[in-house]
Structure 1
Amino acid sequence: MAEYYSVIADYAPIPSSETIPKSKTYAKKALAIDDSLAEAHGVLATSYDLDWDWATGEREFQRALELDPNNSRTHVLYGLHLDAVGKQEQALDHYLRGVELDPLNQNAIDNLAGEYVSSKRLEQGIEECKKNLEIDPTFSRAHITLATAYLLTGKYEQFLEEWEKAANLSKDANDLALVQAAKREYPKSGYRGALKSVLALEQEQAKRVYVDPAWIAGQYAFLGEKDQAFAWLEKAYTEKSGFIGSNLKIHPFFDSLRSDPRYADLLKRMGLA
């Protein structure tokens, strides 16, 4: 249950603020019974990361790896921690180790691909995504990561194609509506118009279902609309959104904000300065 609550916000429209306390509680209960459970320490570490207690998260990850240095999932989770605090080269080492330990684990491969994308080694990211889809072409997260890589390389038609594949696989009505809105607008006004139509619809959807405000902020930042981006980042900060904690320091979507004093202030408040 601890692991379930530590990751559910990545897959369902649920704010991290609702899942973090439950994940911590279940992990601590497991460790009270047996403190040598490496995976429980790893899940607890992730819970601390989601709560922006980076130092405690680091200690728990070190304990998890001390107990079981050959656990693929722990290496991947630790990679996410290292990314969050801006240590991308160290993160890459752990993603590579995670894939080495479990070569067919598509989540591990997707995180490795995501690391290449976030560090702007885009061709390597695209290559890893394609390898992942050779294992199982219905793995929707690989299509999302590939779509992001195509967006960042300016291959907008391929971006829309991969995003549509992911939406069709997930059968998420809201995501399908976003893709269709983007596809309708793209021929008329290019990628900027397409993304603006997506942002408008996402904000309508956010009145009915949870949408991570940091995700909306990232899209505004990608478009260079800084004031809107920071307004949504403040909402994300207030609710300790999952996307802001894991991506603010490294994701290329936020590149346009890094020279702004508001960005440095936000990192400081999150304990990431």
Structure 2
Amino acid sequence: MKPDLIYEFGSFRLDPKERILWRNGQIVPLYPKAFDLLLVLVEKHGHVVDKDTLLRTVWPDTFVEESNLTVHVSALRKILGVDANGRRYIETVSKRGYRFVHEVKLIEPGESNEAGMLSPQHVDRSSPSAFTRPKNLRLFLSICALLSSALLIALYTRSARPLDPRADQPIRAIAILPFKTIGNSENDQYLSLGLADMLITRLGAIDQIAVRPTSAVSGYTAKGLDGIKIGRELGVDAILEGTLQRDGDRLRATIRLVRVADGRTLWTDSYDERFTDLFSVEDRISAHVLKSLRINIGNRAAVRLTRHATEKIEALQAYAKGRYFWSRRTTEGIKRGIEYFQQAVTVDPNFALAYVGLADCYNLFSLYGIAPPAESFAQAKTAITKALEIDDQLAEAHASLGYIKFRFDWDWAGAEQEFQRAIHLKPGYAAAHHWYGEYLAAMGRFDEALSELESAQELDPTSLAINTDIGEVFYYWHRYDQTIEACRKVLEIDPKFVRARFELGRAYEHKGMLPEAAEEFMTAMVINSGTASNPSANRHHALKWEALWRKRIDEEERATRSSSTGYTSGYTLAVEHLRLGEKEKALEWLEKAYRAHDPSVPFLGTDPAFDALHFDPRFDKLLRALGLDDAAREHM
């Protein structure tokens, strides 16, 4: 093999001699070790390269932790993105290593290619962002003429007049913002969010484009917000925004697709329809967005795209309210979510997504202490079974079923199958990647877990829960410094996000930084109490480590004895007794958590809180009964 050959894959060229990665004629900055790692994987494309080989090759004569490899692979994945089929270039092979899965061509320097990339010698290396000029002026003028023709054709295409965004940069990610309502009706505001949610659900099933989930956009309902600024915050290439006005039995809407980079309108249209024709408006908007982005879909996808989740406007409004309250992740919000999802299925008993909403609420009941696991997950199963009876191709339903199998049934193989099924049906569904990442962390497959959570983060970059759970994966992986880094970033955005405080406290605890840990745990308790002025909550700040957990255990055990409703986690109490060195009490509560099917038990094999029990025969017996002994060995 000639040493000056260049590797070509997708829109990339990798030049080993010059140590440069190109994308469409532009230099892609890479750190030296990231370049070395990519080169090894590309050279061995199609084959698994085990982790030890990668560590020895990329970091010769140097001892580095495996987490360094994971971080570099994650960085490469972000840089490379996905190919034209929505597939990642680098695949994780469980418990072995990584494989570069894209087709690779070997080419001579300067050789032309079908992707139309410029060869390296045509590019000004002094500035990676410099404009690249073909040397052949006739070719350049021909290209300009073709682009001009394409622009003229676009300008005269139907009333919607889509402009081709590929004339500049491709649109790979969009955010569908809640449409602004003209008027002050609360129902119209939820109708606006509901229409956006339906469009997100539809277009999110298209592989060729990433659509930010409803949870990422639902907070942008206030009037007067700058759509371009929101688009930048969400990290998308374009936004779909507009206005809705209800006037008697008429619905008037103006919708436009706007590129974030320069604020240019790529497509716009107006609608004046009967209010009852709302779903035909949804059809037309979906079709126009796909046309303006020049996205072609297969026949099966086209059929699915034309299906309506519901034909009842009242059901849509109730569903939008349910999702809004569910996303708040508070006890009161989850309860209100149940009420609205129930209203939705009462109005339309065939509204599959509303049954998924019910299941998602019930799935959180025991984690929030609302009801025991057996009761709440049984209700979740009933709802999700109904959803799948209506539509067995619904990705959201398969993801929620995977969550039930993971958190309550402890059917590890079944859970993984459902998560993978959901991702196959809808690669852009952030929750499926998120929950699958949690599952993989519980199984001790940390590199895969991190990969899935980073996929979720790419789809929903502003999600506090997803960003916190990236830190949680590092916690289970015993990489506490990286947990601290991830959680601090979350708290910079929202200092009152309790879960980030909790994960930060756990990381400090296991680094032996008990004063810092106590501060984070106590701050979380104060926030959870609902008001910082709560005298009982404020007293926690005066308590030392042992006193804090003794008081906490007394409160929780008293609540367990006195309450016939609600649920106190035996898993949580086991952790708290271990903080006081009380192993016997911890094992008693773990047995109770096991019998109750506590939804935290799946993490028993990887949670550092139980490291002190790993040589206790009773704990080992519990792990074997759960089928988590392999996960425990993986991280010890």
* TM-score, normalising length: structure 2: 0.40
Unaligned runs of 5+ in 1: none
Asked whether the 8 Å contact 1:217–1:233 carries over to 2, the reply is yes
Once structures 1 and 2 are overlaid, which stretch shifts more, 79-88 or 39-48?
79-88
Q: Does 1:142 align with 2:500?
A: yes
User: Structure 1: which amino acid aligns with 2:398?
Assistant: H
User: Structure 2: which amino acid aligns with 1:115?
Assistant: V
Asked whether the 8 Å contact 1:129–1:142 carries over to 2, the reply is yes
For each residue in 1:185-228, what CA deviation from the matched residue of structure 2 results, as whole angstroms up to 9, or x when unmatched?
41xxxx23433343233322322352101111122234442221
Q: Separation in 2 of the partners of 1:125 and 1:105?
A: 16
Match of 2:374 in 1: 17
Shift of 1:167: 2.4
Match of 2:546 in 1: 192
2:557 to 203, 209, 231: 203
Q: Separation in 1 of the partners of 2:405 and 2:449?
A: 18
Query: Cα–Cα, structure 1 residues 80 and 60, in superposed 2: closer, same or farther, change >3 Å?
Result: same
For each residue in 1:116-144, what CA deviation from the matched residue of structure 2 results, as whole angstroms up to 9, or x when unmatched?
12222111111111111222222222112
Q: CA RMSD in A?
A: 2.2
Query: Cα–Cα, structure 1 residues 13 and 159, in superposed 2: closer, same or farther, change >3 Å?
Result: farther
1:125 to 468, 475, 483: 483
Match of 1:84 in 2: 442
Q: Separation in 2 of the partners of 1:235 and 1:181?
A: 30
Asked whether the 8 Å contact 1:160–1:179 carries over to 2, the reply is no
Asked whether the 8 Å contact 2:487–2:503 carries over to 1, the reply is yes
Shift of 1:102: 1.2
What aligned pairs does 1:1-273 form with structure 2 within 5 A after superposition? Answer: 1-49=358-406, 50-171=408-529, 183-186=541-544, 191-209=545-563, 210-245=567-602, 247-273=603-629
Asked whether the 8 Å contact 1:213–1:233 carries over to 2, the reply is yes
Shift of 1:180: 5.5
Q: Separation in 1 of the partners of 2:435 and 2:380?
A: 15
Query: Cα–Cα, structure 1 residues 24 and 258, in superposed 2: closer, same or farther, change >3 Å?
Result: same
Shift of 1:149: 1.7
Query: Cα–Cα, structure 1 residues 71 and 254, in superposed 2: closer, same or farther, change >3 Å?
Result: same
3-state SS of 2:568 partner: coil
Q: Separation in 2 of the partners of 1:35 and 1:28?
A: 9
Shift of 1:101: 1.8
User: Structure 1: which amino acid aligns with 2:585?
Assistant: Q
Shift of 1:168: 2.7
Query: Cα–Cα, structure 1 residues 184 and 77, in superposed 2: closer, same or farther, change >3 Å?
Result: same
Q: Separation in 2 of the partners of 1:202 and 1:26?
A: 31
User: Structure 2: which amino acid aligns with 1:82?
Assistant: L
Asked whether the 8 Å contact 2:526–2:538 carries over to 1, the reply is no
Q: Separation in 2 of the partners of 1:121 and 1:223?
A: 23
Shift of 1:85: 2.5
Q: Separation in 1 of the partners of 2:513 and 2:455?
A: 30
For each residue in 1:5-54, what CA deviation from the matched residue of structure 2 results, as whole angstroms up to 9, or x when unmatched?
11232223432222111111111211111111111100001111121122
* TM-score, normalising length: structure 1: 0.89
Q: Separation in 2 of the partners of 1:181 and 1:52?
A: 39
Asked whether the 8 Å contact 2:570–2:590 carries over to 1, the reply is yes
Unaligned runs of 5+ in 2: 1-357, 630-636
Once structures 1 and 2 are overlaid, which stretch shifts more, 207-216 or 155-164?
155-164
User: Structure 1: which amino acid aligns with 2:441?
Assistant: D
Choose between structure 1 and 2 for higher RCO, CA contacts under 8 A separated by at least 6 residues: 1
Q: Separation in 2 of the partners of 1:39 and 1:109?
A: 21
3-state SS of 2:367 partner: helix
User: Structure 1: which amino acid aligns with 2:560?
Assistant: A
Query: Cα–Cα, structure 1 residues 177 and 30, in superposed 2: closer, same or farther, change >3 Å?
Result: farther
Shift of 1:78: 0.5
3-state SS of 2:561 partner: coil
Asked whether the 8 Å contact 1:151–1:159 carries over to 2, the reply is yes
User: Structure 1: which amino acid aligns with 2:529?
Assistant: K
For each residue in 1:143-178, what CA deviation from the matched residue of structure 2 results, as whole angstroms up to 9, or x when unmatched?
1221222222222222232223322322259xx788
Asked whether the 8 Å contact 2:526–2:537 carries over to 1, the reply is no
Q: Could you tell me the percent identity over the aligned residues? A: 34
Task: Choose between structure 1 and 2: higher helix proportion.
Answer: 1
